[in-house]
Structure 1
Amino acid sequence: MAARVLHGVNLAGWLTLEPWVTPRLFADSGALDEDALIASIGTKRYRELISEHRRTFLSQKDFTSIASRGFNAVRLAVPWYVFGDAGPDSGPFVGCLEYVDEAFLWAEDIDLKIVLALAVIPGSKAAGTDFAHDREDFSRRREAMLVVLGALAKRYSSRMALAGIEVADGVVAQTRRGFTLSDGVPLHQVRNYYREAYESIRTNAPDVTVILPDAGMPGSWRRFMPPRRYENVWLDSHLYHYRDHIDSVGPTGIRMLSNASRESMRLARKSGLPVMVGKWSASLPFPDSVTTPEGRIALERVYISEQLAIFKSCPAWFFNTWKTDKHLDGWDARVALSSFERAMLT
């Protein structure tokens, strides 16, 4: 379904809460994630808060603004509890199917495409509302994830705006260093889940693009799910460098960061699958005190230009994110990409 190259933005923090996107929702409670927020303020207040947030944080006006800036797609993270009580394991969380439906209406009005990403990060200890923190959780919850993916594929397969379905927002794979195993999900379990997720989606949506996170291991997918058997599958790499131990104050540092992106893309392409960049930002690894605001903006502009050039051969890329409460430099597309001409983003 994704015949054209997609240049878009993530809609982070809309259907699921993220404190870096909307810190005001967490400020009074001291909570750092959605689970802790519920525990702090109670289910009744949480339901009121998230209902109001979803109603007001994004609107049709945002979709129109996204298109007017030159983007042609959005990546929408959809929680596992999207179907509410009609779906599996919803717990105290509030379903949001009506907002996904509305997003498709808004997108189709202005010819935007939508990539749906199941908002789980198997293996991540930091994912506040993720119900697949480790290998045991993942094994126990995998069936629920497959059910939700199949239901999403069935509901939206005929919609013109649907460009793809991603089987998870991300994955933390287990790695070995010497005799030590890291946290995360063993790679063989991730691979098995990807095959099952493909079948769950493909059964309900024969043509939609199925997207697989690279699990932070871009070189580990060579000959996995070959196109002769698995049709229309992409690999997704998330290219962030804000935590890299590189001095980015100056052209040399920017060049090193860009080379790191190129290397990640080179490794991912060995899979033989088209490689999309599902998340990237303009945030650079230096403290604010190192340079002036003007200098930082200039360096970020050079960095963004380099990243866009690297992504030229990708079927899709999505800046993270469209909107934050605090207009975060490097993360809010309305700020970070505001000085870029429309032609550079299309």
Structure 2
Amino acid sequence: MKQIKGVNLGNWLVLEKWMNPVMFSGTECEDETWLCRTLPHDIKVDRYTQHRATYITERDFAYIASKGLNTIRIPVPYFIFGDVEPFVGCVEYLDKAFNWAEKYHLQILIDLHTVPGSQNGFDNGGICGVCKWSQNPEAVEFVLTLLERLAQRYGTREGLWGIEILNEPISEEVWNLVIDRYPAVDKEEAEGSGPVPSEFLRNFYIEAYQRMRKYLPVDKVIVFHDGFRLHEWKDFMRQEEFVNIVLDTHLYLMIAEVMGCEKNLDAYIHYIDNNFAKDVTEMQAYFPVIVGEWCLFNNTEGLKEMNEEERKRLYMKIANAQLQAWEKGQGWFYWSYKLLLDTVGDSASEGWDSWDMGKSIEQGWLPDRY
């Protein structure tokens, strides 16, 4: 299996307000579900059409290829086929992405990023504070059928590397940490929300694999996310019937901070070497491991007071440590390709350019070519 060097196209087909607040202008909405419930139909369609047609274009695929990257992870919503009200479908843009990818010799990992009722209650899960998808058999079946449709539509495309079953289904540990971070708009709708149990997730992944593999040739990978419980998967899908499976884990320095890592360069490097690299190495013995999301963002004390050269040295060292750690596995996808900093505001955007791979390359914080 090839070594993945890739980037996420975040905020293109799945919106995240912090990456482009202008899409949410004129509303108080914090997530895509409430945005689509709130905007009048004509305004909503116009706004989505303009965003999707301009946020990512063929030129971006050419740029990505020019940097030596080989794979693009594209988050897609559960309403991609345009059959769920009040959302605006977007499958035609994924079709364009495959045409562009194949033109520039790139491959795509389709990442199902949201599901009805949400799998995590995050803003990037579609609706804040609600996590009830796994409790609803009809919603689960809808997602399984959706994955089949994606596999059937793109399974034989040259540009398909694989399909990721579901992004970041939340564990009990993480749910307890973030339960108050994303307040629900409708408390009644959120009532009964909770984490996605491991037993359910295992059964769901197996069912999804079996349904998708009917349409996916064995040279196309099926990716499953660790659900924030990385070490639980050592005995999973070990039978011969399961082929070409990849394990995805998301490793951010904010996780290190939550786990008690001090906010300075030496502490970050130590944590990367002794935790992130160790975890990837350990799990690589069971599955090819990709770090599906990571970036340079950190909260180093005194970061705002650093001059340009000091900041560059800091980010370069953090980048090199992480890239060396990810080499222990099958590869990585940076989060994210771009965000619109000019829509955020100067004070709020301090340090946010480190989430933007293009700007990080321009600043010299990341290698110019891979």
Residue 42 of structure 2 aligns with which residue? 44
Instruction: Please give the alpha-carbon distance, in whole angstroms, between the structure 2 residues aligned to 1:288 and 1:198.
Output: 47
Looking at secondary structure, tell me which structure has more helix per residue. 2
Change (3 A) 1:108 1:190: same
Structure 1 stretch displaced more, 4-13 or 309-318: 309-318
Q: Tell me, yes or no, if the aligned pair for 1:123 and 1:183 is still in contact at 8 Å.
A: no
Q: Tell me, yes or no, if the aligned pair for 1:134 and 1:183 is still in contact at 8 Å.
A: yes
1:124 to 120, 125, 141: 120
Residue 303 of structure 1 aligns with which residue? 318
Residue 316 of structure 1 aligns with which residue? 331
Q: Tell me, yes or no, if the aligned pair for 1:123 and 1:138 is still in contact at 8 Å.
A: no
Change (3 A) 1:267 1:257: same
User: In the TM superposition, what is the alpha-carbon distance from 1:314 to its structure 2 partner?
Assistant: 2.3
User: In the TM superposition, what is the alpha-carbon distance from 1:129 to its structure 2 partner?
Assistant: 2.0
1:237 aligns with 2:261: no
Residue 224 of structure 1 aligns with which residue? 236
User: In the TM superposition, what is the alpha-carbon distance from 1:69 to its structure 2 partner?
Assistant: 1.4
Instruction: Please give the alpha-carbon distance, in whole angstroms, between the structure 2 residues aligned to 1:26 and 1:47.
Output: 13
Q: Tell me, yes or no, if the aligned pair for 1:210 and 1:232 is still in contact at 8 Å.
A: yes
Q: How do residues 98-247 of structure 1 correspond to structure 2 at under 5 angstroms?
A: 98-120=92-114, 122-127=118-123, 129=126, 133-134=131-132, 137-175=135-173, 183-207=194-218, 208-226=220-238, 228-243=240-255, 244=257, 245-247=260-262
1:282 aligns with 2:296: yes
Change (3 A) 1:293 1:247: farther
Residue 76 of structure 1 aligns with which residue? 74
Paired letter, 2:296? A
Residue 185 of structure 2 aligns with which residue? none
Q: Tell me, yes or no, if the aligned pair for 1:246 and 1:285 is still in contact at 8 Å.
A: no
Structure 1 stretch displaced more, 240-249 or 144-153: 240-249
Matched residue of 1:20: which SS? helix
Matched residue of 2:222: which SS? strand
Paired letter, 1:277? V
Change (3 A) 1:137 1:52: farther
Write out per-residue CA displacement over residues 237-268 of structure 1, whole angstroms, 9 at most, x where no aligned residue.
Answer: 00111251422323343322443312332453
Write out per-residue CA displacement over residues 23-82 of structure 1, whole angstroms, 9 at most, x where no aligned residue.
Answer: 221243122111222233333322221111001111000000111112111000111111
Instruction: Please give the alpha-carbon distance, in whole angstroms, between the structure 2 residues aligned to 1:53 and 1:255.
Output: 41
Which blocks of at least 5 consecutive residues in structure 1 are unaligned?
none
Residue 273 of structure 1 aligns with which residue? 287
Paired letter, 2:274? N
Structure 1 stretch displaced more, 45-54 or 22-31: 22-31
User: In the TM superposition, what is the alpha-carbon distance from 1:136 to its structure 2 partner?
Assistant: 5.1
Paired letter, 1:129? G
Instruction: Please give the alpha-carbon distance, in whole angstroms, between the structure 1 residues aligned to 2:281 and 2:31.
Output: 34
Instruction: Please give the alpha-carbon distance, in whole angstroms, between the structure 1 residues aligned to 2:18 and 2:298.
Output: 16
Q: Structure 1 runs of 4+ off > 6 angstroms?
A: none
What is the root-mean-square deviation of aligned Cα atoms in Å? 2.5
Paired letter, 2:201? V
Percent identity of the aligned residues?
Answer: 29
1:334 aligns with 2:358: yes
TM-score, normalising length: structure 1: 0.89
2:24 to 23, 26, 37: 26
Change (3 A) 1:170 1:176: closer
User: In the TM superposition, what is the alpha-carbon distance from 1:290 to its structure 2 partner?
Assistant: 5.7
Which blocks of at least 5 consecutive residues in structure 2 are unaligned?
176-192, 343-351
Q: Tell me, yes or no, if the aligned pair for 1:175 and 1:186 is still in contact at 8 Å.
A: no
Instruction: Please give the alpha-carbon distance, in whole angstroms, between the structure 1 residues aligned to 2:68 and 2:242.
Output: 32
User: In the TM superposition, what is the alpha-carbon distance from 1:18 to its structure 2 partner?
Assistant: 1.0
Instruction: Please give the alpha-carbon distance, in whole angstroms, between the structure 2 residues aligned to 1:139 and 1:266.
Output: 36
Residue 64 of structure 2 aligns with which residue? 66
User: In the TM superposition, what is the alpha-carbon distance from 1:218 to its structure 2 partner?
Assistant: 0.7
Residue 183 of structure 2 aligns with which residue? none
Matched residue of 1:120: which SS? coil
Structure 1 stretch displaced more, 298-307 or 168-177: 168-177
How many residues align? The count is: 334
Change (3 A) 1:153 1:337: same
Change (3 A) 1:65 1:290: closer
Matched residue of 1:220: which SS? helix
Instruction: Please give the alpha-carbon distance, in whole angstroms, between the structure 2 residues aligned to 1:176 and 1:130.
Output: 17
User: In the TM superposition, what is the alpha-carbon distance from 1:212 to its structure 2 partner?
Assistant: 0.4
User: In the TM superposition, what is the alpha-carbon distance from 1:299 to its structure 2 partner?
Assistant: 1.4
Matched residue of 2:121: which SS? coil
Residue 95 of structure 1 aligns with which residue? 89
Structure 1 stretch displaced more, 312-321 or 232-241: 312-321
Write out per-residue CA displacement over residues 283-309 of structure 1, whole angstroms, 9 at most, x where no aligned residue.
Answer: 113366564143333212101111111
